[in-house]
Amino acid sequence: MEENLKAIVPHQFGGHSLCNARFCGYKRKPGSSYTHRSLPYKTSLQDSNLRQKLQQLFDPIIYNAGHYIDLGSSQQCEHANKEVTLRAPKSHHYGNSSSLDYRVHATAAFINEGRHYISKGYSMLGLSPGTHTVRHAEKCMKQREKKREKAKSPSTKLRRLLLKQERATNQGANEALEGDTYQSGKFICRTL
């Protein structure tokens, strides 16, 4: 990752010695003329002052590249955000009270411990964990485990792929019938 980050600034200014063929068209086809698709006039940047400022901006990022490698899955982050919004919805303002901290901590406990976090908290405080609470937690954990096992099965994975293919086919058919309904930066006027 560090090598790829080091190559970003020189790549934009026409220096391809640090580039990797995986992201650099110049390295993939060295004999042909290379044009930048994302830069103005499709040519390399020339301003040395801009290059120095960009390099100063990227140096701390390159230095800390090892920290960025283990950022984790965005799916896990999205799951955690969804769980927090279930306990602290945006329609209610919890930001000025300590209630938000308790709600976020409860979410972290739920993600780490599962449904048993309530009964474990009660036990730590010397209270009864509650028979109904424990039973409900067990039931929810069993359902969660069944869903997890079912999601891992080959038939479920095949079904997800088939549904994905079906959605893509339907979307293509709808676009062929209706045309581009939403398109950024363009105004489409049709006469009937």
Closest CA to 34 of 46, 21, 45, 25: 25
Distance between CA atoms of 35 and 11, rounded to whole angstroms?
11
CA dihedral 49→51→57→61, nearest 10 degrees, is -160
Quick one: tokens of 2? Answer: 């560090």
Domain ranges of the chain: 2-69, 74-147
Instruction: Dump pLDDT digits (tens) for 3-31.
Output: 888 888 888 888 888 888 777 877 887 77
pLDDT of residue 70: 64
pLDDT of residue 185: 60
Inter-residue contact 100 to 88 (CB < 8 Å): yes
| Main-chain phi, psi angles of 190, to 5 degrees | -120, 140
Distance between CA atoms of 75 and 72, rounded to whole angstroms?
9
Helix (H, G, I), strand (E, B) or coil at 185: coil
Low-confidence ranges of the chain (pLDDT < 50): none
